[in-house]
Structure 1
Amino acid sequence: MLHGRLLVVAVIATASVTACQPAMTFVSASLPEETVASVALIDTPRVDAPIDRPIVIQADNGRLVEVQVTEAPDRPISGELSPDGRTWTSTEPYLDFDARYRVSATAVDSRGLTATLDQEIRTVNPDGYLKASFIDEYGTSWGVGMPIKVRFDEPVKNRAAVEEAMHVHTSTPIEGAWYWVSSSEAWYRPRDYWPGNTDITVDIDLKAVEAAPGVYGKDRITQTYRTTDSFVMKADAQTLEMKVFRDGKKVRTIPVTMGKDGYDTLSGTKLIMTKEVERVMDNATSGVSEDSPEHYRVKVRYAMRLTWHGEFIHASPWAAGSWGVTRSSHGCTSMSDENAAWLFENAHIGDPVEITGTPLKQNPGNGITVWNIPWDQWAAKSAIGPRLTTPAPLSPIS
């Protein structure tokens, strides 16, 4: 609305002149009767307004002298006026979904004439909401090979927008990428193993993110993980030795036996998934007849699971003649009681075990097998590609 008044200036003057001097005459002139100021919303739709965009009010040819923005029925919205008095911007990080906001503003021009704005904004009303949760079946402290897993309660169609809201923080930059296992689950790992004794904070802020047409995130979740010492085991079926590295330095070489012909240990990288001081192993559970000469039922000590199909690291005192000499197991990597006890004491859930020298390759999903996917293939399953982690914010994430 424009306000003003008519101001007319009319001056007529005459003066004595000589023949050489023309007469001077002033004619009447009028100034605009309406204000030259205007005030308007900037980049803010009145219907289906996004909740993550501020409300911006701007005056042209004048200054804002009054601004009131309220969420129905009467909650005031805070904002800041620019130093030149021309622009007001709301400062709340988010508006509310499906909410009505009344915007009233007055601007004044250089002559004191005013222009006003009185409008209503309605924010987007989602058809549904997306929630994320961490899959922490192995806890929040683990070895340097463990991936981070996130599950969504609705299928994600706009994966890039969701990934942009999934931040991984470490004290030093680490290259990593998300990998979409399905439309409702994403895993994260670095290019190489995590550094030892490192805090990893994952901040997923889905509020206002449109994950699929009409489906928006509205929550923020965070989780902090910590890696243990870097502890990596490398077993070679040709030399029948397991070399153990702590923080990059070899600390032990262990004679082992591994899967014999027909029961080959799978080559590849797997992670320790469980640790049991004692376990009864019975291959009848995998379909081997109890009448078969290959059937066994035996109690083992210091068992650490590597695959869902039954590969473990464990002690095998009955196979003492095979350690470092020949492959005699049904697929497990086994050793002396002393070495198995030491390994059990020092290894962690999530520690990598790299197996080489066998003809069979590790099959995907048979355990935690993320490290058998080449990095370029892993990164290709990300919607935005690999990125470097960043330090966590100085203020606590809320």
Structure 2
Amino acid sequence: MPIAACSSDGSAASQSAAKAPDAAATITPANGVKKVRPDKGVQVAAANGVLDQVTVQGGGRKVEGTLSPDKKSWTSKWTLKPGATYTVTATAKNAGGKITTSTSKFTTMKAPSSVKVSDVIPSARETVGIGMPITINFDSPVANKSAVEKALEVRSTKPVEGAWRWITSQQVIFRTKSYWPAHTSVSLVAHMSGVRAAAKVYGTKDFTRTFKIGASHVAKVSLKTDKSKVYVDGKLAKTISVSGGMGGADSHGNDFRTTSGVHLAMGKMPEVWMTSPNIKKNEPGYYHELVLNDVQISNSGEYLHRSPGEWDCLGNRNCSHGCVRQTVAGALWFYKLSQRGDVINITGTTRKLEWNNGWGYYQMPWKTWVKGGALKKPVTTVATGGATTTPTTPTAPSGSPTPAHS
């Protein structure tokens, strides 16, 4: 009888699998723990194997998490809701394919004090221009800016690079490196629930705001030629004769130069009473006049508007107190077209727009802007589906100053 050269009544792999120790999943927080800090989140680690599945349920929702590439650890993506009960179920698999299950049930501490998003610009479902920043205001000071910034997620149908910059302890602003792509849907999701914003201060509620980037509107205003060329989605749509600031200053501290640089439309109003700053009635240089079709572009009293007179200046020379005057037809057309966040790039003057005058954020170099964030690095918006929003268009600027120039 022939004898086989190699034979066995069981493979080496099956024998190894039979001897493989059981895998185990260690869950943090452990079962039964109370008053867990919500900003610590959930961590699951596998021993003698890999994680097969992790589910975390609590606070009225399923908790998102990230599995490591080697499948040996899992970490919750966002912070947890204060004062909530959570249940964690984790399965781990050993080398032989045997599954073991671990569970943990714990509660998070209630927030001693809370912080929340008090206001966001743009408005809900608003259609805005390609330069639109996202401004978030909080109802109390934020000391732990890094934790809050990590919780701020921007989603868009077309991914774009941007960065956050803290203006005050209660305000942070997101701008894109270049402009938003036109015709893009955007969502801000502030995962604030459980974020430790300061000592004993936690977010207790998430916040979501959706809006839409409309058509690209870019006005290139030259106060050398006194012409405004307005481009819609990259194509020249209209050329408007204009007249900018006359230049110089007066003894009252008024500067009559229009600011040059990248302005953003901050809002629009059908009519505005414009009054000379620092000059009393009956004093030389005083004016108080009603001006029509006004689009605000700074906090120093600058608008693009219908010229109140001096029609011979339009397209020929600069005669205003600092605003950009337009023809009757041109002003009405531009007013109807305008949406908050539209780009107005003014050139030809010796006065530079400061980055914090209105929404002059594109005046700041990109690298400098990024350094103003707590994390000091840019982010790319999270790509989403193509869902659109029902547009609304607020007309009045947010927090408009007393108009000064005409």
> Is the pair's TM-score, using the shorter chain for normalization, greater than 0.5?
yes
Query: Quick one: distance in 2 between partners of 1:118 and 1:346?
Result: 58
Following TM superposition, by how much is the alpha carbon of 1:304 offset from its aligned partner in structure 2, in angstroms? 1.9
Aligned partner of 2:378 in structure 1 is 386
| Equivalent residue letter for 1:136 | I
Q: Per-residue deviation at 1:135?
A: 2.2
State the 1:129 CA deviation: 2.6
What is the match of residue 23 of structure 1? none
Say if 2:316 is the partner of 1:325.
Answer: yes
Contact 1:148-1:187 within 8 A present in 2 as well: yes
Residue type of the alignment partner of 2:171: E
Question: CA separation of 1:165/1:393 partners in 2, compared to 1, >3 Å: closer, same or farther?
Answer: farther
Alignment check: 8 A CA contact 1:266 1:358 kept: yes
Given that 1:317 and 1:337 are in contact with CA atoms closer than 8 Å, whether structure 2 keeps it comes out as no
1:313 and 2:304 correspond: yes
Write the letter of the residue equivalent to 2:257. D
Partner of 2:393: none
| Deviation, structure 1 residue 325 | 1.5
Once residues 90 and 179 of structure 1 are traced to their aligned partners in structure 2, the CA distance between those partners, rounded to angstroms, is 27
Q: Deviations over 1:191-233 (max 9, x none)?
A: 1122222111111112232222333223211110112211111
* Equivalent residue letter for 1:49: V
Judged with a 3 Å threshold, the aligned counterparts in structure 2 of structure 1 residues 53 and 347 are, in CA distance, closer, same or farther, namely closer
Q: Which amino acid aligns with 2:364?
A: I
Superimposed CA distance per residue, residues 292-335 of structure 1 (whole angstroms, 9 cap, x where no aligned partner): 44222333322222233322212226222212221111111112
The offset of 1:254, in angstroms, is 1.8
Whether the aligned pair in 2 keeps the contact of 1:41 and 1:58 (CA below 8 Å) is yes
Shift of 1:121: 5.3
1:156 to 142, 145, 158: 142
1:304 aligned to which of 295, 315, 318: 295
Q: Which residue of 1 aligns with 2:36?
A: 49
Question: If the length of structure 1 is used for normalisation, what is the TM-score?
Answer: 0.70
**Is 2:341 aligned against 1:350?**
yes
Q: Deviations over 1:143-172 (max 9, x none)?
A: 222211112223222222221211111112
> Quick one: structure 1 residues 324 and 215, their matched pair in 2 at CA, closer, same or farther if it must change by over 3 Å?
same
Other-structure match for 1:279: 272
The corresponding residue for 1:265 is 258
Distance 1:134 1:274 in 2: 17
Contact 1:132–1:221 under 8 Å retained in 2: yes
2:66 is aligned to none
- Deviation at residue 40 of structure 1 after TM alignment: 9.0
3-state DSSP of counterpart to 2:219: strand
Alpha-carbon distance change, 219 to 119 in structure 1, aligned in 2, over 3 angstroms: closer
Pick the aligned partner of 1:175 from 161, 179, 187: 161
For residues 160-185 of structure 1, the C-alpha deviation after alignment (integer angstroms, 9 at most, x for no partner) is 22212111111121000111111121
AA aligned opposite 1:266:
T
Tell me whether 1:199 sits opposite 2:185 in the alignment.
yes
The answer to whether structure 1 residue 255 and structure 2 residue 246 are counterparts is: no
The 5 A counterparts of 1:21-100 are: 42-44=27-29, 46=33, 48-51=35-38, 53-54=41-42, 97=82
Structure 1 gap segments, 5+ residues each: 1-35, 61-68, 72-76, 79-86, 104-116
Aligned pair partner of 1:127 in 112, 115, 120: 112
Structure 2 residue 224 is matched with structure 1 residue 238: yes
Matched, 1:184 2:170: yes
Q: How much does 1:138 deviate?
A: 5.4
Question: Could you tell me how far apart the structure 1 residues matched to 2:45 and 2:354 are?
Answer: 59
Distance 1:155 1:312 in 2: 33
- The offset of 1:96, in angstroms, is 6.0
Aligned residues: CA RMSD: 4.0
Q: Does the 8 Å contact 1:143/1:349 carry over to 2?
A: yes
In 1, the alpha carbon distance for the partners of 2:179 and 2:336 equals 21
User: Which is worse superposed, 38-47 or 376-385?
Assistant: 38-47
Name the SS of the counterpart of 1:150 in structure 2.
strand
Q: 1:253 to 1:102 in 2, by over 3 A?
A: closer
Are 2:121 and 1:136 equivalent residues in the alignment? yes
1:358 match: secondary structure = coil
Distance in 2 between residues matched to 1:219 and 1:150, nearest whole Å: 15
8 Å CA contact 1:152, 1:185 repeated in 2: yes
| Aligned-partner Cα distance in 2 for 1:229–1:118 | 51
Of structures 1 and 2, the one with the larger relative CO (CA 8 A, separation 6+) is 2
Encode CA deviations 1:232-259: one digit per residue, 9 max, x unaligned.
1111121211111111222222221111
Match of 2:351 among 354, 360, 367: 360
Q: Using the aligned pairs only, state the percent identity.
A: 31
The size of the alignment, in residue pairs, is 328
Structure 1, 154-163 or 232-241: larger mean CA deviation: 154-163
